[in-house]
């Protein structure tokens, strides 16, 4: 477009210029239909939604972290606006605010979307159809994730009932065939045998290996005030993470700590575990409180140990007892001899959760306990946490998990803690209400239409005064320029050069004309 604009301006031949103008019109039309004038706004909208800032636009790609690069790839896919989007775990590396933005984006996306995700809350918000691939078979369910669970249960119940009825029919039919194969009813027996051979057998889906959580060891009773932060300040060097925050965790609480990435959630956990000391304020753990910590980095695992040796060293368990516990977590057969350093993220998470359950802790501190787990494993962790008779505080981006297990949400944002008594859905409802109230308050603080109208004459007067002062300054500049020009024109040496003399005379005439125009404008504004 810019090249054509330059060519059109330079072209003197009308016929050639018309050809260029026609080509230019086509390109402009294609540019407009492709959203060319909005592309920068679209880029900023998607980038900001996925957590980037203005400063990030100036950075080179190699300066971003792995998680940020993943978000950049996601942004690029969204901005291309294909007819069909294929998204593989799109909520990885996104905090809750980014995921909620992505949910709104996808709900309004005009094309088709196929998503692979373990984020059940996200699936509940976005999808209208579930395709389940299990044991080499693809099954379709209309609805979101929660509806899929209900429909799958109903389908399995109906299939099981039909299977049992068919098995009863097969047994009775086979008994008839065996009894009358050589008797007077042999013809009937052969007919039933033929029908039985043509019968399409109902096949139940194979049993899928499930976690068999045996529950946490019974914890000992502890103080009512399990953990307390009193005006605690945390910092790394000169960088303050949060300042003078207070929190009380009571016995029996199920607390979820939420907030954007970088707010200091993991830092707060480290204060409670004693891995970090506050630079001001205090942290107090109640009497008889035994803390069990689940770290997303799994530092409590010895990478050089075999799985079996890990349980033996930490808990003094026999091989038989260790195998019993490990089998409940799907470590079976020779799996128990695997080196921990060679395990996948999900396998390490399973082993770390098993160890936590064996400690007898009565206060669990959980840092992303469902990371790296597939959906059945997540559901099993939820069941285990829900049955835990002690107290826990969890940090998690898994909103479905938080919705099921938490009875109190604590939000850490901008260095402040705010408590919401309820599960995650209640917290989101309250946040939406608060945001609407804040928006209404901002709107109320803005001047009304009548106030704006009343202010217009005063504003116009102020504008007019500013414009008049500007005009008078321009007149003074022109008068000074004309005086300087008259001095030059009075110099005899100038007239010795006809070209220079003509140029100065032309410029003098232009200045005079401009000054006359300014005089007329000044007279109109002053009413003279």
Q: What percent of the chain has pLDDT over 90?
A: 49
Residue 148 clears pLDDT 90, i.e. is over it? yes
Q: What's residue 39's pLDDT?
A: 77
Average pLDDT of 68-92? 94
pLDDT of 255 reads 97
* 400 compared with 440, residue with greater pLDDT: 400
Average pLDDT over residues 73-80: 94
Is 371's pLDDT higher than 70?
Answer: yes
Q: Convert the pLDDT of each residue in 87-114 to its tens digit.
A: 999 998 888 889 999 999 999 999 999 9
pLDDT for 154 equals 95
25 pLDDT above the threshold of 90? no
Tens digit of pLDDT for each residue in 471-500? 888 888 888 888 877 777 666 666 556 667
Model confidence over 296-331: pLDDT tens digits?
888 889 999 999 999 999 999 888 989 988 888 888
Q: pLDDT digit string (tens) for 399-430?
A: 999 999 999 999 999 889 999 999 999 999 99
The whole-number average pLDDT for the span 212-235 is 83
The answer to pTM > 0.85 is no
Burial label for 235, CB within 10 Å (0-12, 13-18, 19+), is: middle
- Crossing angle (nearest 10°) for helices 498-526 and 449-489: 150
pLDDT at 81 over 70: yes
Q: Which residue has the higher pLDDT, 35 or 289?
A: 289
Angle subtended by helix axes 66-80 and 96-107, to nearest 10:
10
Q: 236-256, pLDDT tens digit by residue?
A: 988 999 999 999 999 999 999
Band of residue 61 on the pLDDT scale cut at 50, 70, 90: very high
List Cβ<8 Å contacts ≥24 apart for 519-528: 519/475, 521/471, 522/468, 522/471, 522/472, 522/475, 525/464, 525/467, 525/468, 525/471, 526/468
Q: Is the model's pLDDT at 451 over the cut of 80?
A: no
pLDDT at 59 over 70: yes
CB atoms within 10 A of CB 117: 18
What is the average pLDDT across 208-226? 74
User: Which region among 100-104, 120-124, 337-341, 486-490 has the lowest average model confidence (pLDDT)?
Assistant: 486-490
- The more confident residue out of 169 and 522 is 169
Kindly indicate the confidence band of residue 443, based on its pLDDT and cuts at 50, 70 and 90.
confident
Q: Which tens digit of pLDDT belongs to each residue from 454-464?
A: 655 655 666 67
Q: What is the mean pLDDT of the chain?
A: 87
Task: Give the model's pLDDT for residue 138.
Answer: 92
Q: Is the pLDDT confidence value at 214 over 70?
A: no
Instruction: Please say if the pLDDT value at position 139 is more than 80.
Output: yes
> What is the model's pLDDT at position 496?
57
Burial class (CB in 10 A: 0-12, 13-18, 19+), 90: buried
Q: How many CB atoms lie within 10 A of CB 47?
A: 18
């Amino acid at each position: 477009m810019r090249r054509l604009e330059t060519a059109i301006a330079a072209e003197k031949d009308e016929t050639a210029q018309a050809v260029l103008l026609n080509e230019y019109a086509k390109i402009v039309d294609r540019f407009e239909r492709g959203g060319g004038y909005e592309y920068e706004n679209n880029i900023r909208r998607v980038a900001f939604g996925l957590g980037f800032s203005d400063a990030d636009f100036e950075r080179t790609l190699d300066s971003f972290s792995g998680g940020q690069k993943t978000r950049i790839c996601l942004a690029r896919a969204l901005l291309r606006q294909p007819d069909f989007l294929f998204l593989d775990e799109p909520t990885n590396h996104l905090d809750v605010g980014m995921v909620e933005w992505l949910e709104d984006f996808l709900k309004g996306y005009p094309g088709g979307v196929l998503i692979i995700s373990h984020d059940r809350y996200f699936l509940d918000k976005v999808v209208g159809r579930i395709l389940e691939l299990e044991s080499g078979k693809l099954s379709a369910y209309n609805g979101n994730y929660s509806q899929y669970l209900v429909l799958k249960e109903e389908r399995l119940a109906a299939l099981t009932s039909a299977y049992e009825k068919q098995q009863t029919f097969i047994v009775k039919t086979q008994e008839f065939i065996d009894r009358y194969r050589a008797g007077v009813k042999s013809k009937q027996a052969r007919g039933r045998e033929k029908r039985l051979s043509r019968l399409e057998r109902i096949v139940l889906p194979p049993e899928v290996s499930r976690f068999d959580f045996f529950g946490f060891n019974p914890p000992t009773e502890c103080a009512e005030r399990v953990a307390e932060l009193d005006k605690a300040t945390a910092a790394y060097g000169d960088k303050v993470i949060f300042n003078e925050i207070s929190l009380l965790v009571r016995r029996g609480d199920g607390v979820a700590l939420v907030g954007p990435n970088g707010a200091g959630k993991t830092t707060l956990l480290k204060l409670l575990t004693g891995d970090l000391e506050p630079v001001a304020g205090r942290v107090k753990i109640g009497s008889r409180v035994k803390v069990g910590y689940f770290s997303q980095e799994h530092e409590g695992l010895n990478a050089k140990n075999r799985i079996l040796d890990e349980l033996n060293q930490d808990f003094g368990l026999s091989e038989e007892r260790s195998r019993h516990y490990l089998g409940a977590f799907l470590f079976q057969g020779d799996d128990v001899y695997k080196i921990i350093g060679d395990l996948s993220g999900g396998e390490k998470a399973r082993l770390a959760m098993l160890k936590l359950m064996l400690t007898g802790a009565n206060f669990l501190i959980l840092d992303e306990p469902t990371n790296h787990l597939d959906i059945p494993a997540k559901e099993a962790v939820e069941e285990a946490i829900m049955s835990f008779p002690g107290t826990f505080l969890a940090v998690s981006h898994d909103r479905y998990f938080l919705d099921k297990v938490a009875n109190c949400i604590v939000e850490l944002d901008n260095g402040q803690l705010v408590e919401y008594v309820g599960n995650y859905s209640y917290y989101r409802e309250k946040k939406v209400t608060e945001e609407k109230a804040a928006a209404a308050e901002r709107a109320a603080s803005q001047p009304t239409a009548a106030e704006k109208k009343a202010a217009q004459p005063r504003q116009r007067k102020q504008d007019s005064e500013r414009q008049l002062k500007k005009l008078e300054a321009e007149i003074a500049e022109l008068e000074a320029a004309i005086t300087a020009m008259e001095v030059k024109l009075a110099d005899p040496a100038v007239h010795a050069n006809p070209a220079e003399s003509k140029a100065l005379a032309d410029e003098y005439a232009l200045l005079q004309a401009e000054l006359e125009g300014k005089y007329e404008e000044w007279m109109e504004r002053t009413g003279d």
